[in-house]
Amino acid sequence: MTAVTKYLLEESQMPRSWYNIQADLPKALPPVLHPGTLQPIGPADLAPLFPMELILQEVSTEREIEIPEPVRDIYRLWRPAPLYRAHRLEKALGTPAKIFYKYEGVSPAGSHKPNTAVPQAFYNAVAGTKRLTTETGAGQWGTSLAFAGNLFGLEVLVFQVRVSFDQKPYRRAVMETYGARCLPSPSTETVYGRAVLEARPDHPGSLGIAISEAVELAAQRDDTKYALGSVLNHVLMHQTIIGLESIQQMEMADTYPDVVVGCTGGGSNFAGIAFPFIGQGLRGGKMPRIVAVEPAACPSLTRGKYAYDFGDTGHMTPLTKMHTLGSSFTPPGFHAGGLRYHGMAPLVSHLKELDLIEAVAYTQVECFAAGVLFARTEGIVPAPEANHAVKGAIEEALRCKREGRAETILFNLCGHGHFDMTAYQKYFAGELTDETYDEQELAMALAGLPSVPAA
């Protein structure tokens, strides 16, 4: 007999505020710089792209920011999200550790992304925005923004990275079901997209290019704003509802994590589960070990440089200090599309520099093996991105086994893999290989980092 495996919160226990880690940082974030003047930017510089409320959240140092009622109302469609104890996975591993996972795949898009898509659409609608542009890789973010934009009466235009657009036609169909328009990027609808296609007509696209296209259109029109699904401070803050719920659920389970694990693409789901725990530690509570898991084929935290860089390939964004592989770096076409970004959230990068978090990188085949073991024990088929977190948690559990330690491990199962079954088919056919990036390309991309004089 297995004991209770599921920790559910009442609707009334859903957090009323997001947590802003900027209130508790031992050292403030380095400033965001204007790419021309190299001077710190102010809120007005971002106004063509984002509504003021989100810009203010970006720079806020208030610890708690209230979740507006219309946002909470939509969150209630799937939140509070469940937290499970992975008894069967523990047993299969023979570990003395307790493994818990927070499941974000219960949202309409199947991942954590609607946690920020909904407030971003809300603040835009309140500010009078008519149209949102964005990029998407695997399609999770585009789906989430299509869902949220529709609920607030906004038009949504999604630039989807070409390889994913071709590989995952069902994602586009879901975006269209929610009323959005989805184009393959590079596209012919922007100056930047046309330039990329001219240089290379069969360009597979990248997140950095798709961001440039979406930003270009948003900057041109007053009624059009841009929405980003990760990386920015306000995005990470919206995701903290994951960790805030988890804190309550760990209390229900009568334990507290020794280790918190999340996968990192741009850093948002990782921040979502980890920041509330780090915050408790910074305010004098117990500080768990925090482990970020990234793909070995796009290893910004473990192999990148901590430096000022552009967020996009077309160099239209401000410069932020982050772990980066260089904005011209195109990762190989591995299957965790959501983890194919050249940079890392400035907040996550900053915490890494402060030694408050650790980072590890795993290759895709070992991550799929972990995901399959998880599916066969716990029943949920994880997204390829989430397989990295599963792998990270399993490695921690096996370490506990070797050391004979009954630690508590918590990880974020950030999404299900129902739209990624082609990747699983390839895995079972033995066709999935460990793609590696080109060292020379990485060296070149890093050599091309903008030069910014030390502050």
Residues near ligand PLP (CB under 6 A): 111, 113, 140-141, 230, 263-270, 338-339, 383, 385-386, 414-415
Q: Output 149 or 407, the one with its CB closest to ligand PLP.
A: 149
Q: Output 268 or 327, the one with its CB closest to ligand PLP.
A: 268
- CB 360: neighbour CB atoms within 10 A? 18
- Going 226 to 231 to 232 to 238, the CA torsion angle's sign is positive
Q: Output 184 or 415, the one with its CB closest to ligand PLP.
A: 415
DSSP code string of 297-358: TS-HHHHSEEEEEESSSSS-SPEEEEEES-TT------S-GGG--SS--HHHHHHHHTTSSE
Q: How far is the CB of 145 from ligand PLP (least distance, A)?
A: 12
Q: How far is the CB of 192 from ligand PLP (least distance, A)?
A: 22
How crowded is the C-beta side of 239, counted as CA atoms within 13 Å?
A: 27
What's the longest Cα–Cα distance across the chain?
65
DSSP code string of 63-127: SEEEPPHHHHHHHTTTPSPPEEE-HHHHHHHT-SSEEEEEE-TTSTTSBSTHHHHHHHHHHHHHT
Q: How far is the CB of 174 from ligand PLP (least distance, A)?
A: 13
Contact 442, 329 (CB under 8 A): yes
d(CA 187, CA 196): 9
Q: Output 210 or 253, the one with its CB closest to ligand PLP.
A: 210
Q: Output 374 or 400, the one with its CB closest to ligand PLP.
A: 374
Q: Output 246 or 268, the one with its CB closest to ligand PLP.
A: 268
Q: How far is the CB of 236 from ligand PLP (least distance, A)?
A: 8
Q: How far is the CB of 144 from ligand PLP (least distance, A)?
A: 8
d(CA 305, CA 106): 35
Q: How far is the CB of 141 from ligand PLP (least distance, A)?
A: 6
Distances in whole angstroms, Cα of residue 46 to Cα of each of 49, 266, 313, 347: 6, 20, 18, 18
Q: Output 210 or 339, the one with its CB closest to ligand PLP.
A: 339
Structure tokens at 49: 């792209």
Q: How far is the CB of 140 from ligand PLP (least distance, A)?
A: 3
d(CA 77, CA 13): 14
Q: How far is the CB of 341 from ligand PLP (least distance, A)?
A: 8
Which residue, 362, 356, 324, is CA-closest to 343?
324
d(CA 172, CA 158): 9
Contact 207, 141 (CB under 8 A): no
Residue owning tokens 């226990």: 13
Q: How far is the CB of 171 from ligand PLP (least distance, A)?
A: 11
Q: Output 95 or 324, the one with its CB closest to ligand PLP.
A: 324
- Those residues whose C-beta lies under 8 Å from the C-beta of residue 340, and which sit 6 or more positions away, are 137, 161, 206, 207, 265, 295, 298, 331, 334
Helix, strand or coil for residue 136?
strand
Q: Output 30 or 337, the one with its CB closest to ligand PLP.
A: 337
Q: Output 29 or 293, the one with its CB closest to ligand PLP.
A: 293
Q: How far is CA 161 from the centre of its chain?
A: 16
Q: Output 264 or 408, the one with its CB closest to ligand PLP.
A: 264
Q: How far is CA 34 from the centre of its chain?
A: 24
Q: Output 80 or 262, the one with its CB closest to ligand PLP.
A: 262
Q: How far is the CB of 307 from ligand PLP (least distance, A)?
A: 20
Q: How far is the CB of 112 from ligand PLP (least distance, A)?
A: 6
Structure tokens at 47: 């106004």
Q: How far is the CB of 231 from ligand PLP (least distance, A)?
A: 7
